[in-house]
Structure 1
Amino acid sequence: MTHSILIADDDVQIIMALKLLLKTHQFDVVVAQTPNEAIEHATKREFDVALIDLNYQADTTSGQEGMALINDLKKLDELLPIVVMTGYSSVDIAVDVMKLGASDFVQKPWGNERLLSILQNQISLKQSRRLGNKLAAHNALLSNERSTPSCNIVAESAVMKQLLTQLEKLALSDMSIMLTGENGCGKACLPIIFIVVHRAITIHM
């Protein structure tokens, strides 16, 4: 499976080496030589992971440009894993970039196996977080539907209104329902009504 990666580094030789390595391992590689160029790419498309340098031509030692880039990338995609790579690594810088949202830290020159392992792990973590967010949103929707049942069926008769009220109450339970009655009395319509009141109930007829 191909994964997309954004690489930001101002060293052409570094970019060439990374492209050769990552394309061999089925990565769709997009490169940027400045933070602004990286942001431009990230604005246009989503990436599975980003591999960025901390230092660029305007400031080659402090890591401030890279830190600002991390912040900007996270604003565009808070789930984007960002792996930081720099030749001026230190414990202090590593701590700072992690606080900003970087996922991991690699020092130049890197080890190919370790770098590939880090990238694959971060991609897997992003997929897990995205799935977790979808499940949480789905559960929140179900919870809201259970707490605020609604019915869009219009009823005029008092008997039908009473039936719909009872169904809305039943829709909040987990019980199974058995419908009885003579042929032609409308039993087949009731499963549709249960769907309308937003609750899946096992119905036996």
Structure 2
Amino acid sequence: MQLKHAKILIVDDDQDVLTALRLLLKPFVAEITVEKQPGNLVSILASSRFDIVILDMNFNGLVNTGNEGIFWLKRIKEITPDTDVVLITAYGDIDLAIRSLKEGASDFIVKPWQNQKVIDSLRDLLQHRKSKEKPFKTGTDGSKIIGECQEIQEVFQKIHKVAPTDANILILGENGTGKDLVAKAIHENSNRKEKPFVKVDVGALTSTLFESELFGYKKGAFTDAREDRKGRFEAAQGGTLFLDEIGNISLNQQARLLTVLQNRQISPLGSNEVIPIDIRLICATNLDISELSNEAKFRKDLIYRINTVDIIMPPLRARGTDITLLTKYFLDLYSEKYDKGPFKLDPGFLHKLKNHGFPGNVRELQFVIERTVIMAEGSLLLENDLSFSSIESKAETGGIEDTRLETVEKNTILKVIDKNKGNISKSAKELGITRAALYRRLEKYDL
């Protein structure tokens, strides 16, 4: 992206700084917005999209610890994870500025700044934006795993490590978390990517269909076998075979599968022919690993065979700011599909989204956003534009972690700070603790 097309927001309680930066950047960018009150950031970012936010590290004449800047940096990244944030700091706060980079800032400006250096830094940020994009392409259809939270980054790291190998992979996670996308990503980033990727929902196969679907059959093998047919193992030859819902197959089916994996060969139904197989096996299940360890339900020797490496897809409710990131991704997707929008998000809309448990995970969010785009009457999406399916609502659970004491404290702190528009002093007073104690808790919970 070029600087001349950029929209920039500058947030500083010093009018002189706002004026100086606005005059400096006005000839080079498409649009500049200035704001003195950081408490207005939430509503501004919900209604408008910016490429870069330039943010002061200290506000309101309080003790210059930079904590206000770090707090608002995190709020910006929560609301718009793909927005670059540049911090303004004094020369003596370089260590704090470096810490801000670890917290998600893209760069920092040291006062007094050099005008040309500021312009060059912003230009470089925009030119290198593509290299910073996080979505993980998983196939030729353009589908992606999207996320910035630590749990998803760990999934990305595992994919990069295991994809070039032929190790068998077991993907664990609730329904709707994107296990099939992980399987595709592993295949598309492997040495087998030019060969077939074959998916089978083995949990839906009866005993007879299990044999014929996976191993194929010869003409006359059974009543409706009117011609020879290759099984899924043979169809995936040289490529990747993805067995979804592996936790739902019977013990007899497990024994048959184990034999094939050990011998690396199959025999089609109605034939004594032995066909060597060369496939990379990926399996997935929504069962917990502890359930798979129950030998009354699943053979341990098969678990060891299919689970050289396991990858756990986290539920959406545990992915924090990824809800906002995914929401904007699906909004763009369905705005284009239905030729509507562009849409702006009211803070109430985002608040309602983040407080939903999403028992259906990313799949549920995708359908919710598609329905919202279809039914929306205006360009600003309000809380009332958002509705959740009654199919999922009865199953919704927040998980055991939602009732832990530290989680309750963390959520209370967030609500009070939001209520006071980020004013730490007021928030500390309302919580009945000192300002220093509140900062310690913000640090503890990485807020």
Q: Same fold, TM exceeding 0.5?
A: yes
Q: 1:8 aligns with which of 4, 8, 11?
A: 11
Change (3 A) 1:48 1:170: same
Matched, 1:100 2:165: no
Confirm or deny: 8 A CA contact 1:35 1:66 kept in the other structure: no
1:125 aligned partner: 128
Give the partner amino acid of 2:65.
S
Distance 1:124 1:100 in 2: 22
1:113-141 per-position Cα deviation (integer Å, ceiling 9, x unaligned): 111111122223333222x5253527847
Instruction: Give 1:168 shift.
Output: 7.8
Question: What amino acid sits opposite 2:226 in the alignment?
Answer: V
- Corresponding residue to 2:118 among 115, 118, 121: 115
Mapping 1:54-203, distance limit 5 Å: 54-59=57-62, 61-87=64-90, 89-130=92-133, 133-135=135-137, 137=144, 140=182, 142-143=184-185, 146-149=197-200, 157-159=224-226, 163=229, 165-166=230-231, 169-170=234-235, 173=238
> Match of 1:90, SS?
helix
Shift in Å at residue 69 of structure 1? 0.4
Report the Cα distance in structure 1 between the residues aligned to 2:136 and 2:77, rounded to whole angstroms: 19
2:343 matched to which residue of 1? none
TM-score (norm 1): 0.66
Post-superposition shift, 1:52?
0.6
Q: CA deviation at 1:77?
A: 2.6
- In structure 2, distance between residues paired with 1:34 and 1:60: 17
Bigger mean CA deviation after superposition, 24-33 or 64-73: 24-33
Name the residue aligned to 1:51. Answer: 54
Distance, in Å, in 2 between the alignment partners of 1:141 and 1:42 is: 35
1:6 aligns to what SS in structure 2?
strand
Query: Matched residues in 1 for 2:120 and 2:73: separation?
Result: 21
Partner Cα separation in structure 2 for residue 75 and residue 51 of structure 1: 16
From the superposition, tell whether residues 127 and 5 of structure 1 become closer, same or farther in structure 2 (CA, over 3 Å): farther
Q: In the alignment, what sits opposite 2:25?
A: 22
**Is the CA contact (8 Å cut-off) linking 2:89 and 2:110 kept in structure 1?**
yes
Following superposition, the deviation at residue 94 of structure 1 comes to 1.9
Q: Secondary structure at the match of 1:110?
A: coil
Aligned partners of 2:57 and 2:69 also within 8 Å = yes
Identity among equivalent pairs (%)? 25
Distance of aligned partners of 1:127 and 1:159 in 2 relative to their CA distance in 1, 3 Å threshold? same
The answer to whether the 8 Å contact 1:80/1:126 transfers is no
Q: Note the alpha carbon deviations across 1:66-111, whole angstroms, 9 max, x for none.
A: 1110111111233322111123642321232222221212112211
- Hey, what's the Cα distance between the residues in 2 that align with 1:159 and 1:28? 68
| 1:24 match: secondary structure | coil
Per the TM alignment, residue 171 of structure 1 is displaced from its structure 2 partner at its CA by 5.5
Matched positions, count:
168
Matched-pair contact (CA < 8 Å) for 1:23–1:29: yes
For the 8 Å contact 1:31–1:38, the answer to whether it is kept is no
Gaps spanning 5+ residues in structure 1: where?
151-155, 175-205
Aligned equivalents of 1:20 and 1:59: distance in 2? 27
Write the letter of the residue equivalent to 1:135: K
Q: Measure the CA separation in 1 of the matches of 2:231 and 2:115.
A: 65
Kept in 1: contact 2:58–2:67 (CA 8 A): yes
Distance 2:116 2:183 in 1: 42
Q: In 1, distance between residues paired with 2:102 and 2:49?
A: 23
Is 1:61–1:88's contact at 8 Å kept on the other side of the alignment? no
SS of alignment partner, residue 10 of structure 2? strand
CA contact (8 A) 1:35 1:69 kept: yes
